Amino acid sequence: MDPRPAWPTSLGPGEILICPSILSADFACLGDDIARVEPEADWIHVDVMDGRYVPNISIGMPVVRAIRPRTRRPLDVHLMIVEPERYVDAFAAAGADLLTVHAEACLHLHRTLQQIRAHGIRAGVSLNPATPLSAVEEVLDDLDLVLLMSVNPGFGGQRFIPSIPGKIRRLREMREARDRSFLIQADGGIGLSNLAMLKSCGLDAAVMGQSIFAAPDPAQAIRDLRACVG
């Protein structure tokens, strides 16, 4: 039996994958905070920051390893680190189901995607707001997800950048033109005010930190978010 959770192959018109970002959880009781979102979340999004690729430092492999047995949801690990190829094997061993690297941080992006997939897990590529879609054009066969940053990476609770909906639409067109099936994910500044609009642009998966963990009841916050899309 494949121990890995199933990967969504197609999403219906009102369906969106909701990925709570634990960057906004309480690190002193991370297991409990994950348990609060577990029944409603699709994936658990884990932000790894190295203080070099982004100005902030967050968490690493030991935390991924520690939370792995605390959830049945896929662990969606977003590597905001330089030279991610140095750590891909360790994050895969720690229990990541999806490893997303930044195109801007990879000298040999194609090779790094192959390295991720060799572990039998999914490979994602993230693009900063200023990075054009052409940065992933040549590796569309080698990835399972494209993550469009809708803030500059490094911190939770920032304002959504308004050029991103157009970028999502253009990526969806590129996917259709190439007859590919990778998922389109966005991360940063997403909440009740813009989620339905982003879904209508073609978004498949939304990462949200503050909109979920800053709410008094994070599970209810996810239900409200899902209802505004459906």
Query: 33, 47, 76, 142: which one contacts ligand DX5 (CB under 6 A)?
Result: 47
Query: 33, 42, 47, 85: which one contacts Zn ion (CB under 5 A)?
Result: 47
Range 79-138, binding ligand DX5 (CB under 6 A): none
Q: How far apart are CA 156 and CA 67, in angstroms?
A: 20
Kindly state whether residue 76 participates in binding ligand DX5, applying the rule CB under 6 A: no
Query: 74, 95, 156, 218: which one contacts ligand DX5 (CB under 6 A)?
Result: 156
Nearer to ligand DX5, 2 or 18 (CB): 18
Query: 50, 189, 195, 222: which one contacts ligand DX5 (CB under 6 A)?
Result: 189
Residues paired with residue 44 on neighbouring β-strands, in sequence order: 75
Query: Please, how many CA atoms are within 13 Å of residue 183, restricted to the half-sphere of its CB?
Result: 26
Any catalytic annotation for residue 89? no
Query: 40, 42, 187, 204: which one contacts Zn ion (CB under 5 A)?
Result: 187
Query: What's the closest the beta carbon of residue 18 comes to Zn ion, in angstroms?
Result: 14
Residue with tokens 């939370």: 67
Q: How far apart are CA 84 and CA 81, in angstroms?
A: 6
Residue 147: which of ligand DX5, Zn ion, none does it interact with, CB under 5 to 8 A by kind?
none
Kindly state whether residue 78 participates in binding Zn ion, applying the rule CB under 5 A: yes
* Active-site choice (76, 144, 187, 204): 187
* Active-site choice (47, 76, 142, 204): 47
Nearer to ligand DX5, 85 or 187 (CB): 187
Q: How far apart are CA 170 and CA 132, in angstroms?
A: 11
Any catalytic annotation for residue 187? yes
Nearer to Zn ion, 174 or 205 (CB): 205
Looking at the annotation, which residues are catalytic? 47, 187
Using CB under 6 A as the criterion, which residues of the chain lie in contact with ligand DX5 when the complex forms?
Answer: 21, 23-24, 45, 47, 78, 151, 153-154, 156-158, 187-190, 207-211
